[in-house]
């Protein structure tokens, strides 16, 4: 297993500067953010431009090889079932560019979201998935790339209080995997399962053959916010804005990372554990984000051989 991080945390920096810092810090892999240069999504950035030529992609890969750092995946997490047909088409087109770039760089994995058409029912979205994703999966396969979905519910993404990504729980994974080939899998993030009250260890064993990549992100339960608002959170700032949970860097929340890493070894996972830094305490500036990543590295590196 190798330890890496998603480059969104240092998204203001050029790719080569992130690479040098990661290698010097001891990280063995990077998950490269590949959103469009013009993009309004939060927690996104463009470490690698998906419009680069095949030759430029090969040259960038060579720099990683020279530094001994693996590219674990390219990351473009957006709504592939967007209700607006123009937005959906643009998202699909960019995803294919990311797949092309991954292929040119010799990178096997590309991460994205299933998303949701907020104007349709859940069952209608499942039907939409069955129409939309086979072509995307097939396109990735033709480039020797595998698509994977992070299990983030993206609550409130399209509408307040509504999950915006229909791929966040084991019952949903079973249905999606039932109709997709083995080249379609999970970027498994325990932090989302934890705050939703779902066992974050047991699914590792059931879905072992679909877990292509893992995110290391922790969760902290905020009892004051929970007591103020309950699990539905603050319905209006007129009542209270206190949240009942927040993401933390690994080791600063409530997940037992020794137990989690042990389970990964138990299922034979030999991929990358990638820190996804969304910790509000250690964010806001490049220097604070670097310190946060170092904290996460120190907490996890002693568990990985």
**Secondary structure (DSSP) of 177-197:** HHTS-TTEEEEE-HHHHHHTT
Helix/strand/coil for 270: coil
* Separation in Å, CA 144 to CA 55, 59, 108, 138, 191: 18, 19, 7, 10, 30
Instruction: Please report which residue ranges of the chain form alpha helices under DSSP H.
Output: 15-25, 54-67, 85-105, 122-142, 170-178, 190-195, 202-206, 223-229, 257-266, 286-301
Q: What is the pLDDT of residue 106?
A: 98
Domains along the sequence of the chain with CATH: 2-220+253-301 (3.20.20.150)
Nearest C-alpha neighbor of 113 from the set 192, 208, 226, 24: 192
Q: What is the pLDDT of residue 232?
A: 86
Nearest C-alpha neighbor of 149 from the set 159, 135, 136: 136
Integer distance in angstroms from the first to the last C-alpha of the chain?
7
Instruction: Quick: pLDDT tens for 236-287.
Output: 888 888 889 999 999 999 999 999 999 999 999 999 999 999 999 999 999 9
pLDDT (tens place) for every residue of the chain, 305 residues total = 999 999 999 998 999 999 999 999 999 999 999 999 888 777 789 999 999 999 999 999 999 999 999 999 999 999 999 999 999 999 999 999 999 999 999 999 999 999 999 999 999 999 999 999 999 999 999 999 999 999 999 998 998 889 999 999 999 999 999 999 999 999 999 999 999 999 999 999 999 999 999 999 999 999 999 999 898 888 888 888 888 999 999 999 999 999 999 999 999 999 999 999 999 999 999 999 999 999 999 999 999 98
């Amino acid at each position: 297993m190798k330890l890496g991080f998603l480059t969104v945390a240092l998204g203001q920096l050029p790719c080569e500067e992130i690479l040098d810092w990661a290698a010097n810090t001891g990280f063995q892999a990077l998950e490269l953010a590949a959103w469009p240069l013009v993009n309004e999504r939060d927690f996104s950035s463009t470490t690698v431009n998906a419009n680069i030529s095949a030759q430029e992609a090969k040259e960038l890969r060579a720099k990683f090889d020279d530094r001994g750092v693996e590219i674990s995946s390219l990351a473009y997490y957006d709504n592939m079932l967007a209700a607006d047909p123009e937005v959906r088409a643009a998202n699909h087109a960019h995803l294919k560019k990311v797949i092309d770039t991954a292929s040119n760089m010799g990178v096997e994995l590309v991460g994205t979201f299933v998303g949701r058409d907020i104007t349709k029912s859940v069952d209608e979205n499942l039907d939409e998935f069955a129409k939309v994703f086979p072509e995307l999966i097939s396109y990735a396969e033709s480039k020797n790339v595998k698509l994977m979905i992070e299990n983030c519910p993206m609550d409130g993404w399209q509408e307040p209080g509504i999950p915006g990504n229909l791929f966040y729980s084991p019952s949903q994974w079973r249905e999606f995997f039932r109709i997709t080939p083995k080249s379609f899998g999970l970027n498994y993030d325990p932090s989302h399962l934890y705050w939703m009250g779902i066992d974050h260890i047991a699914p590792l064993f059931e879905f072992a053959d679909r877990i292509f990549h893992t995110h290391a992100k922790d969760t902290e339960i905020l009892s004051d916010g929970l007591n103020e608002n309950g699990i539905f959170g603050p319905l209006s700032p007129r009542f209270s804005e206190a949240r009942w949970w927040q993401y933390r860097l690994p080791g600063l929340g409530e997940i037992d990372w020794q137990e989690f890493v042990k389970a990964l070894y138990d299922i034979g996972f030999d991929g990358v554990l990638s820190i996804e830094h969304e910790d509000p305490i250690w964010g806001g500036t490049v220097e604070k984000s670097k310190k946060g990543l170092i904290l996460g590295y120190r907490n996890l590196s002693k568990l990985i051989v």
